[in-house]
Amino acid sequence: MKRVNTISIIIILLAVMTGCGGGSKQSTDDIITVDVMKSYPKKELILQDVFDVEYIPLDDTSDEFLTMGLIRFIGKEMIITRNTGNTGDIYLFNRNGQGLRTINRRGQGPGEYVSFSQVTLDEDNNEIFVLNGMQNNISVYDLFGNFQRSLAWEGWINIVVAGNFDRDHLIINVYNDLIVGIASGGSGEVEERFFIMSKKDGTMTAIQVPFQHRILRSFYGRSGEVIASGPQNQVLIPNRDSWILVEPSSDTIYRLQPDFSMIPFIARIPSVQSMNPEVFLFPGIITDRYVFMQTVKKEISSTTRVSENVSTHTFPRRDMMYDLRENAVFEYTVYNDDYSTKKQVRLAFENHNNIPFLNNEIAYFQVLQAYELVEAYEKGELKGKLKDVAAELDAESNPVIVLMKHKK
């Protein structure tokens, strides 16, 4: 089993900014304080005022590149997508949407994967990392699908995110309330959910985020069995050259820097440790001016049965943002101005499968299905750049990727 170390994290203690004078500006290096129970004034924003918006129709000139457009990574020069199901196909497009190649190494032999949930692009080393949870490994390939090596571990570890931290390391998020299976020197229970993994040999180093008591997001029966899953918001979020770490049991959200220092970023009140039911705070997109976030109450508001054994649950949610220029919190709604109707854009990561792997230029993305755009175009509901893109589509075309880029 790969040895798991505990990383020495430098926690830089910063004073909570209170009583700031009018006109002062709080930088993202200062602690933001958010009361998750308080009501805030509402504000409407236009997407194009917050981001530089770019539309990229994915190439569909060949059957090889027919894809549902499930984004797995957006790099400086490449977009990687996959489909639902267990086809094994990994689609590589350039940043203009032109198809480059399709990789498929599905199988049970050496250098193959049974299935995968995620693909991480390493543009520095020209490699892709394919997370194969069923086989407890990450398979590493070059950009043409040639197998390079395997990063393996022992024991059951539910890794849901493996992000590109730097040239030599991945950053790992383990999703499991109890997080059983990783411990130094053997199996057992540990508290950490974030790890740094060596790209060379898979050695994992735990990142310790302090909290008082573990708070479980799922719902458990008296015998300890899971009776319902809890909020699935993403807890590992890239933001330019740093990563935002959200431990739901902690009252502080941290920013992990490239030098491994961990800086307090958001402080939530009241303490999650004092609440029943708990109200969690999850950051979303972060720009130079706005910190978008969402509160989620651990209380099922509705249930939808997907299949005989699978149900999905919804929870009370509030979309909020901190305006760094005004030093104030608002409840927000964002609309895409390329629709003549008010088309809302959500800036929260409400599902850990919606993996926000982006480069430093891109703040967020959205996938628009071609048939929906064709219908909106025929109804006269589109304008601007999106109208021009939709005019070239038919209902069977590949999706269109909306890139929301940081303002220059």
Q: Could you read off the pLDDT of 210-244 as tens digits, one per residue?
A: 999 888 888 877 776 778 888 889 999 999 889 99
Q: Which domain holds residue 256?
A: 23-405
pLDDT for the residue numbered 297: 96
Q: What is the three-class DSSP state of 338? A: coil
pLDDT for the residue numbered 23: 35
For residue 192, pLDDT beyond 80: no
Quote the DSSP letter at residue 8: -
Residue 137 belongs to a domain: yes
Residue 134 belongs to a domain: yes
pLDDT for the residue numbered 229: 82
Q: The tokens 């990687």 sit on which residue?
A: 80
Q: What mean pLDDT comes out for the span 146-167?
A: 87
Q: What is the pTM of this model?
A: 0.87
Pairing verdict, β 400-405 and 362-368: antiparallel
Q: What is the band of 186 on the pLDDT scale with cuts at 50, 70, 90?
A: very low
Residue 56 belongs to a domain: yes
Q: What is the band of 355 on the pLDDT scale with cuts at 50, 70, 90?
A: low
pLDDT for the residue numbered 354: 61
Identity of the residue numbered 358: L
The number of distinct structural domains making up the chain is: 1
Quote the DSSP letter at residue 370: H
What Å distances lie between residue 17 and 12, 26, 31, 41, 294, CA to CA?
15, 8, 6, 20, 21
What Å distances lie between residue 193 and 4, 153, 176, 202, 247, CA to CA?
13, 15, 8, 16, 8
Residue 8 belongs to a domain: no
Residue 11 belongs to a domain: no
Q: ∠ CA(329), CA(292), CA(80), 5° rounding?
A: 175
pLDDT tens digit sequence for 291-349: 999 999 999 988 877 666 667 889 999 999 999 999 999 999 999 999 999 999 999 98
Contacts 24+ apart (CB under 8 A), 328-331: 329/34, 329/35, 329/38, 329/40, 330/40, 330/41, 330/42, 330/43, 331/39, 331/40, 331/41, 331/42, 331/43
Q: Give the burial class of 11: count Cβ atoms within 10 A of its Cβ; 0-12 exposed, 13-18 middle, 19 or more buried.
A: middle
Contact 119, 139 (CB under 8 A): no
Residue 81 belongs to a domain: yes
Task: Give me the residues paired with residue 207 across strands.
Answer: 194
Residue 13 belongs to a domain: no
pLDDT tens digit sequence for 87-142: 899 999 999 999 999 999 999 898 999 988 889 999 999 999 999 866 789 999 99
Q: What mean pLDDT comes out for the span 347-367?
A: 81
Residue 121 belongs to a domain: yes
- Read off the CATH number of the domain in which 29 is found: 2.130.10
pLDDT for the residue numbered 311: 73
